[in-house]
Amino acid sequence: ATLAHLLKYDSVHRTFGADVSVDAGIIVVNGRRIHTTAERNPANLPWGELGVEVVLECTGVFRDKASTSAHLAAGARSVIVSSPGKQMDLTVVVGVNDHLLDPSVHQIVSNGSCTTNCLAPVVKALDDAFGLVHGAVTTIHSYTNDQQLLDLPHSDLRRARAAALSMIPTSTGAAKAIGEVLPHLKGKLDGIAVRVPTPNVSLVDLVATVKTATDVAAVNAVLQKAASEGPLAGVLHYETAPLVSTDYIGCPFSSIVDAENTMVLGGNLVKVLAWYDNEWGFSNRMVDLTRLLLGLPRASA
């Protein structure tokens, strides 16, 4: 009943328009019955019995191949990890490297993170056009459930502080994860996160050195074209309106370029801002990757 209630009513995304009810432990959405389970050991989950083909591993607990393979032992065909993982068969950012995905070979795949999915399309577009030498990334990120609501113990002393009261510098693996998606850029990007007192929508600030001298108009033209055609269409969006974070709640794109704030200094130092709904946008990519593993076209194409 609790899960059904939280599905129906969301503090950020508001009330779900579907009919949601509970029947003997089963969540019913517009007549579709969704089984629920509670099991600490993934190997004991009834995936085979329920006919589950793809598992979305979103607990944050199982993030390496050894532990996530328990879902395969339980009868699933494939597993998608909703964070950067270790020893994954493949790390996929839809629109950037999903052409490498082979469902017959890649059983345990990582979908990266919401920030990696925002950053990678911009990095790919810039690298293809101008050649990326190296870059520094700051993600101005809404607070998440791995922070504390009030000051309480946490392994990261900054995340131990009340999430809704401070700007909180902390770590992010998103920039380094680019090397898993675009191997030739491994070691060329690094970054930090600043958690801020907003519940949803985040902003990537990328500053990169490029090989080929350019200007603002050329950078924006490249990003606009990438957003309108080719594999990044439907994933990358180009926005010229002077919008703020709340305008992007419910936005399905991985990355929305804030064209008004593009900068170029000295021809080779490029700054790009890109927004993302770190909940809704990333959830859309989880759906896309699920479809690709099932041999279906992605919904965002």
Compute CA 60 distance to the chain's CA centroid, rounded to the nearest angstrom.
Answer: 13
Parallel, antiparallel, or unpaired: how do β-strands 20-23 and 26-29 relate?
antiparallel
Length of the chain: 301
Q: Are 126 and 110 in contact (CB under 8 A)?
A: no
> Is 251 one of the annotated active-site residues of the chain?
no
Task: At 193, list the tokens.
Answer: 């996160």
Quick one: tokens of 136? Answer: 């520094």
Catalytic residue among 58, 114, 118, 251: 114
Residue 118 neighbours by CB distance under 10 Å: 32
Beta pairing, strands 255-258 & 202-210:
unpaired
Q: How far is CA 253 from the centre of its chain?
A: 10
Contacts of 30 (CB under 8 A, 6+ apart): 18, 19
DSSP states along 45-65? S-HHHHT--EEEE-SSS--BH
| Plot region of 137 (φ>0 → left; ψ -120 to 50 → alpha; else → beta) | beta
Looking at the annotation, which residues are catalytic? 114
